[in-house]
Structure 1
Amino acid sequence: MRQLVHWCVVVFAVCSSTVVQAADFFFKDGDVVVMIGDSITEQHLYSNYVEMWTVTRFPKWKLTFRNVGIGGDRSPGGNSRFTRDVLIHKPTALTVDFGMNDGGYGEFSDKVFKPYMDGLQGMADQVKAAHIRAAWITPQPLDAGDQGPTALVGYNKTLEEMSKGVKEIAGKNGGLFVDQFHPYLSVLDAARAKGPKYDRITAGDAVHPGPPGQALMAASILKGLSFPTLVSSVEINAADGKVVAATNCQIDNVATKDGGLSFSRLDGALPFFPAEAAAILPHAPLLEELNHYPLKVTGLAAGKYAVRVGG
């Protein structure tokens, strides 16, 4: 017979226990966030996922997100429309994600690299003049259907070189560098290693990922922004009914009965993952990586226990 570890979860409450640490997270309470980029940004997928992960982790924060991606755009275009599309929102934080179109879908050369860098630097100058915190994000690699052990071939080699330019701009201008290219590439290559034939894992098309690929983008970006992965955590000693530790939650109504344990858990945040992106999970454990939600119960007799939530 299996005993029960049973709890009731209530979320979005102000909890008296230690809250999730946000000191290192790029976004701050009160931020107006603008996300500029090309058609990949304009899809409103990775940008929405970044927003949802943030507001569910920090439900008490007052945040505004604005997506100003435009299809076909390159960094010089972002620079030329910066006043119209970015500064009009009076942002306190900005993410910049260009490069996919800037490389010209061919071999890397100074002919494509110099305009790219000039456009990024032009935006950086405007960022500094407006006192905006900026995160400079690399393009993600193509997920093409070509076969082989690595996706780092063809145009992806160009995008890797373009990514080095993003790092240079961030370092030169006091911004935050966010590398989504290499984490994304490592997931693609791990999928390629699973069998002799590679089938694309990010949906959409090679350039424009669908929800699975855009969730991978969002996760890579959030990690680069030092997103706090803890939702809440609890440790209870069932032998004496004492709460040993609780972070970002409040524990009440602890009771032991019939060899099991029950309690109420009042959480200060929610885990999040977009259901439409679930196809990426066999290739990248994003659900666990960005939603740390542990429960530890000690003091129980040896045996098998079922865990039930909400009733």
Structure 2
Amino acid sequence: MDNKRSMKVFLLLSLIYVSCSSLQAQMSIPRFEKGERVVFVGNSITHAGHYHSFVWLYYMTRFPDKPVTIMNAGIGGESAWDIKDRLDYDVFNRKPTYVALTFGMNDTGYDIYMKDNAKELSERQVAKSLESYQEIEQRLLAKNKVTKVLIGGSPYDETSRFNNFILHGKNNVILKIIDAQRASARKNGWGFVDFNLPMREISEREQEKDSTFTFCRVDRIHPDNDGQMVMAYLFLKAQGLAGNEVSSVSIDARNSAVVTSKNCKISKLKKNGTDLTFDYLANALPYPLDSVPRHGWGNKRSQRDAMQLVPFMEEFNQERLQVTDLEEGMYRLTIGDLFIDNLSSKELADGVNLAIYPNTPQYQQAAKIMYLNEERFEVEKRFREYLWTECSFLKKEGLLFADNQQAVDKLKEYLPKDIFLKASYDWYIKAMHPEIREVWGDYIKKIVETIYKINRPVTQKVRLTKIE
């Protein structure tokens, strides 16, 4: 590295660390606007992770009339020097209007922390990463119509006691890269969100109750789906979306009057003795939470499990129904033809969050969106497996995108020695054919079109019947 480049790297590393808590760790990042094309760029935590998919699910359900497109551009095992080489064909060729970039886990190395000169080796790793990032930064600056956000990556867990193998000091080295990312974002007027500090704080809090708690149950590196949902929560929070309710309804039963109706329309309000009915049309759907541990790193924890860790329901998923001045007693709540719950007049006067009920018609509508989005995620991941194979093996052999028998033969040489390639090889054999990639792409397009056809809320008949 020449002296000029060394000085640039030194200046990045020397910038004052401005974050001392998870609240200060965030800088405001722009929301996605209608028609936005968002690319999340990163390593395996993005490649096989759900956080960007969970973010899109929020936009699909909360803003049904403002479609956006979110694309995965993560490749497992990559560092900043790998990412800079694929910006054109994997990021810019997708015509993004918004790019969210994260790197650092692989950049900071692994086996070096078991060596006597770990400090010196880790400093070299950071310098190499930031030298490559300077090229990425310049490439991004040239895209002056693209919104840029940098993400401080999730932590390497050094505090959990779920096993004895720990690379001591690795996360502190990751923090040096995050400091440089934060400084770059401030200098360029870009957005920045830190996953590392808030997730460490949550882990340490939970480890006081259970010393084996971790987001990364396989290898201390890759968050399972609960961690991925926490990452989505942090991203949405940085976008300023906390407090943005699904809807809020307050009804005065005694006077048959709508007191408030936020993000929804209430009509045909009728009182018949002690019973109450009205039509409810919201502008958004509740956010559905998957209780199945799907295809995450570890497959032990689900998206819903994250609700025990962050106040997502309180901040992002409030579908509030309040009915005051009902005659004292118990009431049967039905929406459409579905029984929802038996609630006391006091509970109704205090207000209930309908988003906690997976049996409401609007939640079931949202669940269809969730399952379709999960199917989209799974098909998109086939493309990522294909591109991982191209970039991890064929690129260094001069066979990038050759997609021919020579490429297949070369992969067969690697197969006996690489367990990850064994898992991805079949996807490459299929995806090397452009006709198959075209079919997969058309399928994704059809799924997204279907989501934005069926994600509009419909009018529901709400009924409260007094239980004698």
Using structure 2 for the length normalisation, give the TM-score: 0.56
> Using the alignment, how far apart are the partners of 2:334 and 2:206 within structure 1?
34
Q: CA deviation at 1:62?
A: 2.7
Unaligned runs of at least 5 residues, structure 1? 1-23
Distance 1:205 1:217, change over 3 A: farther
1:248 and 2:263 are equivalent in the alignment:
yes
Q: State the match for 2:150 in structure 1.
A: 136
Give the alignment's Cα RMSD to 1 decimal. 2.6
Distance 1:146 1:263, change over 3 A: same
Q: State the match for 1:278 in structure 2.
A: 304
Give the 3-state SS of the residue equivalent to 1:111 in structure 2. Answer: helix
Q: State the match for 1:73 in structure 2.
A: 78
Q: CA deviation at 1:80?
A: 1.9
Number of aligned residue pairs: give it: 286
Q: CA deviation at 1:72?
A: 0.7
Q: CA deviation at 1:210?
A: 1.9
> Using the alignment, how far apart are the partners of 2:285 and 2:131 within structure 1?
41
Residue 116 of structure 1 is aligned with which of 129, 137, 146? 129
The answer (yes or no) to whether the contact 1:184–1:220 under 8 Å persists in 2 is: no
Q: Which one scores higher on RCO, CA 8 angstroms, separation ≥ 6?
A: 1
Pairing 1:261-272 to 2, within 5 Å after superposition: 261-272=276-287
Unaligned runs of at least 5 residues, structure 2? 1-28, 293-302, 339-468
Give the 3-state SS of the residue equivalent to 1:168 in structure 2. Answer: helix
Distance 1:156 1:44, change over 3 A: closer
Q: CA deviation at 1:87?
A: 0.7
The amino acid across from 1:209 in the alignment is: P
- Is the radius of gyration larger for structure 1 or structure 2? 2
Give the 3-state SS of the residue equivalent to 1:295 in structure 2. Answer: strand
The answer (yes or no) to whether the contact 2:42–2:103 under 8 Å persists in 1 is: yes
Q: State the match for 1:6 in structure 2.
A: none
Q: CA deviation at 1:188?
A: 0.8
> Using the alignment, how far apart are the partners of 1:159 and 1:308 within structure 2?
51
Q: CA deviation at 1:304?
A: 4.8
> Using the alignment, how far apart are the partners of 2:189 and 2:253 within structure 1?
50
1:30 and 2:44 are equivalent in the alignment:
no
Identity of aligned residues (%): 31
The amino acid across from 2:261 in the alignment is: A
> Using the alignment, how far apart are the partners of 2:245 and 2:136 within structure 1?
34
Give the 3-state SS of the residue equivalent to 2:270 in structure 1. Answer: strand
Pairing 1:4-153 to 2, within 5 Å after superposition: 25-105=30-110, 106=113, 109-131=122-144, 132-143=146-157, 146-147=160-161
> Using the alignment, how far apart are the partners of 1:129 and 1:66 within structure 2?
21
Distance 1:64 1:42, change over 3 A: same
> Using the alignment, how far apart are the partners of 2:326 and 2:236 within structure 1?
37
Deviations 1:117-136 (A, max 9, x none): 23333222222211210110
The answer (yes or no) to whether the contact 1:33–1:94 under 8 Å persists in 2 is: yes
Pairing 1:148-297 to 2, within 5 Å after superposition: 154-195=169-210, 197-201=211-215, 203-228=217-242, 229-272=244-287, 273-276=289-292, 277-297=303-323
Structure having the higher helix fraction is: 2
> Using the alignment, how far apart are the partners of 2:54 and 2:224 within structure 1?
12
Give the 3-state SS of the residue equivalent to 1:137 in structure 2. Answer: strand
Give the 3-state SS of the residue equivalent to 1:294 in structure 2. Answer: strand
> Using the alignment, how far apart are the partners of 1:155 and 1:306 within structure 2?
56
> Using the alignment, how far apart are the partners of 1:174 and 1:42 within structure 2?
27
Q: CA deviation at 1:144?
A: 5.4
The answer (yes or no) to whether the contact 1:25–1:227 under 8 Å persists in 2 is: no
The amino acid across from 1:266 in the alignment is: L
Using structure 1 for the length normalisation, give the TM-score: 0.83
